[in-house]
């Protein structure tokens, strides 16, 4: 009987994890591919600087899911030698980081004013990014999980939040510690990488997924691990759901209290922002468990599970596909703009932009569905 319960519980937990992960990929694609950036609903944009929108929950939720998955991987590592585990962690870290780097470098060339192909120089390629942050957070927390007990892991996560806050205060420009140009993140990443290797989407070189701001993001992964570990020890019962909700609410209170002295800011990934997003993820995970296990509602499960079974591969596909649509010219117009202007723009600026994003998300879902039907699961 215990073996059957354990098997059923493990199967369920992976289902909940797939749904949680699938939701993050689904919304990540939607917010990353609006038909028209200028006519995008505010809730589908990141906060300009301080503040919080629903979009700001997407990436930290994926990191939370990475930690959740680590709670299962840790059990598989128990039967392996230390050398084997270290090699597995190193291999996965390097693979995810390299894919992320190549994705930003892709298509590796551009056209000059004479329409001649010119190779894109490595000297101006962005080094950090979404996958790169996932890789670094995964590797560091995986090593913590393998080496420390849960109490020490949590203490490390809290320590990372406090230490990062101190760095922002100590090394930011006096009185400008949390501004766009006076923060320590910009100074540190510029020193390490040089401005030519930073993201320029803010209108100036600044990377929201840089090295220094990866430090507080460890807390998101650590809490995801602790949540998954707790479910495995305590089970999917009402007590677990209640405690997840209360932990989530407690973290929200802490985050908004902290916000008065350390603004909630996704692009700086401030410690208050990390606490806020973890609190929301605890509540969201509790809601998913309640929906799938207690209410026994099956509608909508499969849609998100499909995304959740190949999350990183589908994310990479969505980004490369968008890049290709911008590169393929139809006359003088990129394919991306042609599709939007001739199909979706007729629904109006804001609705059309959203419909385009939904179309691209469903297109990626069809690929994920085909992969699932063929039992092809691409593990990065």
Read off the pLDDT of residues 40-59 as tens digits, 9 standing for 90 and up: 999 899 999 999 999 999 99
CB half-sphere exposure, 73, CA atoms < 13 A: 21
367/364 Cα distance (integer angstroms) = 5
Name the residue with higher pLDDT: 5 or 204: 204
* Cβ atoms of 138 and 204 closer than 8 Å: no
What pLDDT sits at residue 9?
Answer: 39
What pLDDT sits at residue 1?
Answer: 32
What pLDDT sits at residue 328?
Answer: 87
How confident is the model over 99-157, as pLDDT tens digits?
999 988 888 776 666 656 677 778 888 899 999 999 999 999 999 999 999 999 999 99
Angle separating helix axes 238-258 and 271-289, nearest 10 degrees: 160
What pLDDT sits at residue 112?
Answer: 60
* Cβ atoms of 307 and 26 closer than 8 Å: yes
275/170 Cα distance (integer angstroms) = 21
Q: Reduced to 3 states, what is the DSSP secondary structure of residue 109?
A: strand
Is a pLDDT exceeding 80 seen at residue 306? yes
What pLDDT sits at residue 344?
Answer: 94
What pLDDT sits at residue 113?
Answer: 60
Read off the tokens for 173: 């420009």
Beta strand 329-330 with 117-119: parallel, antiparallel or unpaired? Answer: unpaired
219/229 Cα distance (integer angstroms) = 15
What pLDDT sits at residue 110?
Answer: 67
C-alpha pair distances (Å), 153 with each of 97, 157, 158: 23, 6, 9
What pLDDT sits at residue 275?
Answer: 98
What pLDDT sits at residue 31?
Answer: 94
Residue 261: which pLDDT band, with cuts at 50, 70 and 90? Answer: very high
* Cβ atoms of 41 and 31 closer than 8 Å: no
- Rounded to the nearest 10°, the torsion over CA 158, 164, 169, 175 is -110
42/34 Cα distance (integer angstroms) = 12
Cβ-proximal residues to 224 (8 Å cutoff; 6+ apart), any chain = 63, 64, 65, 66, 67, 68, 69, 70, 71, 281
Is a pLDDT exceeding 60 seen at residue 222? yes
Residue 167: which pLDDT band, with cuts at 50, 70 and 90? Answer: very high
Residue carrying the six token digits 């063929």: 374
How confident is the model over 88-101, as pLDDT tens digits?
999 999 999 999 99
Name the residue with higher pLDDT: 261 or 332: 261
Find the mean pLDDT for residues 196-201: 87
Is a pLDDT exceeding 50 seen at residue 6? no
What pLDDT sits at residue 11?
Answer: 44
CB half-sphere exposure, 213, CA atoms < 13 A: 27
What pLDDT sits at residue 23?
Answer: 93
Burial of 242 (0-12, 13-18, 19+ CB in 10 A): exposed
- Cross-strand partners of 304: none
Helix (H) or strand (E) holding 264: none
* Cβ atoms of 230 and 286 closer than 8 Å: no
pLDDT above 90 coverage of the chain, percent? 68
Alpha helices in the chain (DSSP H): 2-32, 58-77, 82-105, 130-147, 150-171, 184-193, 214-234, 238-258, 271-289, 301-309, 311-327, 335-339, 349-373
Read off the tokens for 160: 């990372």
Q: Report the 10 Å Cβ neighbour count for 143.
A: 15
């Amino acid at each position: 009987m215990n073996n059957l319960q354990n098997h059923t519980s493990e199967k369920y937990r992976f289902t909940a994890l797939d749904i949680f992960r699938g939701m993050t990929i689904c919304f990540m694609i939607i917010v990353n591919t609006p038909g028209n950036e200028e006519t995008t609903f505010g809730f589908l944009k990141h906060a300009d600087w301080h503040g919080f929108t629903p979009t700001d929950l997407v990436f930290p939720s994926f990191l939370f899911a990475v930690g959740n998955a680590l709670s299962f991987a840790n059990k598989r590592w128990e039967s392996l030698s230390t050398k084997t585990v270290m090699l597995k962690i190193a291999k996965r870290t390097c693979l995810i980081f390299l894919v992320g780097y190549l994705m930003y470098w892709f298509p590796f060339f551009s056209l000059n004013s004479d329409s001649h192909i010119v190779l894109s120089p490595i000297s101006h390629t962005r080094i950090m990014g979404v996958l790169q942050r996932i890789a670094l957070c995964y590797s560091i927390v995986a090593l913590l999980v393998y080496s420390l007990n849960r109490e020490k892991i949590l203490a490390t996560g809290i320590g990372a939040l406090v230490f990062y806050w101190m760095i922002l205060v100590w090394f930011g420009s006096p009185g400008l510690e949390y501004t766009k140009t006076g923060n320590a993140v910009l100074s540190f990443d510029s020193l390490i990488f040089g401005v030519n290797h930073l993201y320029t989407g803010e209108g100036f070189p600044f990377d929201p997924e840089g090295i220094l701001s990866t430090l507080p993001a460890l807390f998101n992964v650590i809490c995801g691990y602790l949540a998954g570990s707790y479910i495995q020890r305590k089970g999917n019962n009402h007590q677990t759901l209640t405690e997840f909700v209360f932990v989530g609410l407690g973290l929200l209170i802490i985050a908004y209290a902290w916000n008065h002295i350390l603004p909630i800011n996704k692009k700086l990934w401030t410690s208050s922002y990390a606490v806020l997003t973890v609190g929301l993820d605890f509540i969201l995970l509790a809601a998913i468990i309640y929906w799938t296990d207690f209410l026994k509602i099956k509608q909508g499960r499969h849609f998100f599970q499909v995304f959740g079974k190949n999350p990183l591969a589908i994310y990479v596909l969505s980004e490369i596909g968008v890049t290709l649509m911008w590169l393929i010219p139809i006359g003088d117009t990129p394919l991306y703009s042609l599709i939007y202007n001739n199909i979706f723009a007729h629904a109006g600026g804001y609705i059309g932009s959203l419909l385009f994003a939904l179309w691209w998300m469903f297109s990626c879902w069809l690929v994920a569905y085909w992969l699932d039907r063929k039992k092809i699961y691409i593990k990065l």
